[in-house]
Chain A
Amino acid sequence: GAGVSQSPSNKVTEKGKDVELRCDPISGHTALYWYRQSLGQGLEFLIYFQGNSAPDKSGLPSDRFSAERTGGSVSTLTIQRTQQEDSAVYLCASSLHVMASPLHFGNGTRLTVT
């Protein structure tokens, strides 16, 4: 596909379960960002990848959150032992490794923890 693809688009899970969110960036985009957006709020930075490396993990809220990227392409964000406060939309964006390149966003995954 031509755009950033995220799956699933919606996920409902019980408190305490683990979830895995997937992001498939635009081909050739080496930079990949994860953000979290609570209802009606701004974007909270979670983690950045350049290739397979994550030079900035400073936004991950707790050690329950982890992310990886393989082959410089697909990235997965894993949340262990989910809590109700994890409920939000998780957005993934990719870009070229060029300052002028805008971020291209996926449609996000809406996570609801019951």
Chain B
Amino acid sequence: AQTVTQSQPEMSVQEAETVTLSCTYDTSESDYYLFWYKQPPSRQMILVIRQEAYKQQNATENRFSVNFQKAAKSFSLKISDSQLGDAAMYFCAYRSPFEGPGGYQKVTFGTGTKLQVIP
């Protein structure tokens, strides 16, 4: 079974600084997708960034980038120039390839990292 581990329950960063959130996962598959989601206090989960396992190039979305190490099964999120609005829970997620006759795609989430941004 796939597992996703976020070993940092809480992190803090000074405004305008850079912070890296870690995520590791376990799978025997060769192709899959990884995602980072943000959940602010408003509760709405928002996609931050995604990465396909077959792509060697790390995904980037403005101030957000990932460090994807496939062999190590590591998928960390780097937030540059942190802003107060970045304060939220961040969840790492793994999406499996199609399984079974129904084409089931399991999506497994980590336990989350609470990010505090200090003014």
List the interface of chain A (C-beta within 8 A of B).
31, 33, 35, 40-43, 45, 48, 50, 53, 55-56, 89, 91, 93, 97, 99-100, 102-103, 105, 107-108
Taken together as a complex, chains A and B put the C-alpha atoms of A105 and B35 apart, in Å, by 14
CB distance from A113 to the nearest CB of B (A): 19
Contact A43 B50, beta carbon cutoff 8 Å: no
Contacts of B31 in A (CB 8 A): 99
Taken together as a complex, chains A and B put the C-alpha atoms of A105 and B93 apart, in Å, by 13
Bitwise interface map of B from 28 to 60 toward A, beta carbon under 8 Å scored 1, else 0: 000111010100001111110010100000000
- Chain A, Cβ-Cβ closest to B42: A107
- Chain B, Cβ-Cβ closest to A33: B107
Taken together as a complex, chains A and B put the C-alpha atoms of A107 and B41 apart, in Å, by 11
Contact B106 A48, beta carbon cutoff 8 Å: yes
CB distance from A75 to the nearest CB of B (A): 16
CB distance from B112 to the nearest CB of A (A): 5
Partner of A102, one of B47, B102, B103: B47
Taken together as a complex, chains A and B put the C-alpha atoms of A79 and B20 apart, in Å, by 39
Contacts of A102 in B (CB 8 A): 35, 37, 47, 50
- Is B65 interfacial (CB-CB < 8 Å)? no
- Total contacting residues, chain B, CB less than 8 A: 32
Contacts of A50 in B (CB 8 A): 102-104
Contact B102 A99, beta carbon cutoff 8 Å: no
Bitwise interface map of B from 100 to 114 toward A, beta carbon under 8 Å scored 1, else 0: 101111111111101
Other A-B pairs beyond A42-B111, A53-B102, A100-B33, 18, CB < 8 Å: A35-B109, A41-B112, A42-B109, A43-B109, A45-B107, A50-B103, A50-B104, A55-B100, A55-B104, A56-B106, A91-B45, A99-B96, A100-B50, A102-B35, A103-B47, A105-B45, A107-B42, A108-B43
- Is B91 interfacial (CB-CB < 8 Å)? yes
Taken together as a complex, chains A and B put the C-alpha atoms of A53 and B102 apart, in Å, by 8
CB distance from A106 to the nearest CB of B (A): 8
